[in-house]
Amino acid sequence: MSTGSAPAIRLIIADCDHASIAEEETVAAERNIHLELRNCRTEDDVIEAALDADGIVVQYAPVTARVLEALPRLKAVGRYGVGVDTIDVAAANASRVAVCNVPDYCAEDVSDHAIALAMSLARGVVMMDRNMRRGEQSLTPVHPLYRIATRTFGVVGLGLIGSATARKALGLGYSVIGYDPLRAPGTVTAGGVRVVSFDELLNNADVISLHIPLIDATRHLIDADALARMKSTAILINTCRGGVVDTVALVKAMRSGKLLAAGLDVFEEESLPLSSPLFELANVALTPHAGWYSEDSYRELKRRAVENVADVCLGRRPRNIINPEVLAQNWSPSISET
């Protein structure tokens, strides 16, 4: 920390399972801000830890209406990540608390992961590896395999991560189509992706990769009905949020042969319990919510999560904010445009 005047601003990292907070401490030192790491799990934990805090950074800890009402000094809440589903944004608006995220720190990394899962399953790598470890070297269990250039890759959600995934799929030789509720079917994106309806994508895509937030409208978007409309040779990839897929329906579809394969990095229950029926399915690739990670994204996430909250508390406009109208409500001559 700075040896100058005592820090007037106090930030709390409510919870963080990273090995170190060195990046965050560097940001705090640069801004002469007091920073503490706590181990909050419940609303009461957050309230107790942040009673006199100006800002909070959270990973999984809940920031609910009750928490916000109990912390009248609070100016900003930031999250390590893209989604803010652990934060009550409506309540934050009512309390005039800025909500910040880091929406683009891992776009390249998650799209890399989605492509890696898709390619591993498209070429039968996952099943062949498992079979070889048991002494089985026949190709029969992985039939059919298809040439990538003959396959259609469907992207659900054409935001930063979805667009990056589409770009990489195009580079591999896939024909790429995309669905996004904010884009009109029949149009073409700047990256050359043909936009189609959700139904058309389900009916025609050989790989379906999900890149959408978890909101009421997208919860169980991939349900029994959606799975029934997919090709029986289709591969489903989910690197966004576990709740977008109905796990029970997916397991039934896989067991009945209505879906060829699935690559899942996110789950309705995390950490995924060993009792999950997903572990019993042969042609499913499972990774532990790892798509976001690379050394590059890790450092960027940690630094920017704290920078956003610190900037709000210092009267500066943050790089990323979910509810910028709060800044307008709190605007004063001290708030900088930088």
Q: Which residues are catalytic?
A: 241, 270, 289
Taking residue 328's Cβ as centre, other Cβ atoms within 10 Å add up to: 9
Name the residue among 315, 223, 337, 335 with its Cα closest to residue 31: 315
3-state class (DSSP) for residue 308 = helix
Burial class (CB in 10 A: 0-12, 13-18, 19+), 216: exposed
Name the residue among 236, 268, 266 with its Cα closest to residue 106: 266
Q: Give the Cα separation of 298 and 29 in Å (integer).
A: 19
Name the residue among 255, 195, 196, 249 with its Cα closest to residue 227: 249
Q: Give the Cα separation of 86 and 60 in Å (integer).
A: 7
**At 168, which helix (H) or strand (E)?**
helix 160-172
Question: Which runs of E-coded beta strand occur in 6-126?
Answer: 10-13, 34-37, 55-58, 76-79, 98-100
The answer to whether 37 and 21 are in contact (CB under 8 A) is yes
Starting from the edge strand earliest in sequence, which strands make up the sheet with 34-37, in order?
34-37, 10-13, 55-58, 76-79, 98-100
Going from the C-alpha of 29 to that of each of 32, 185, 244, the distances in angstroms are: 5, 49, 40
Q: How many residues does the chain have?
A: 338
Tokens of residue 158, six digits: 């054409």
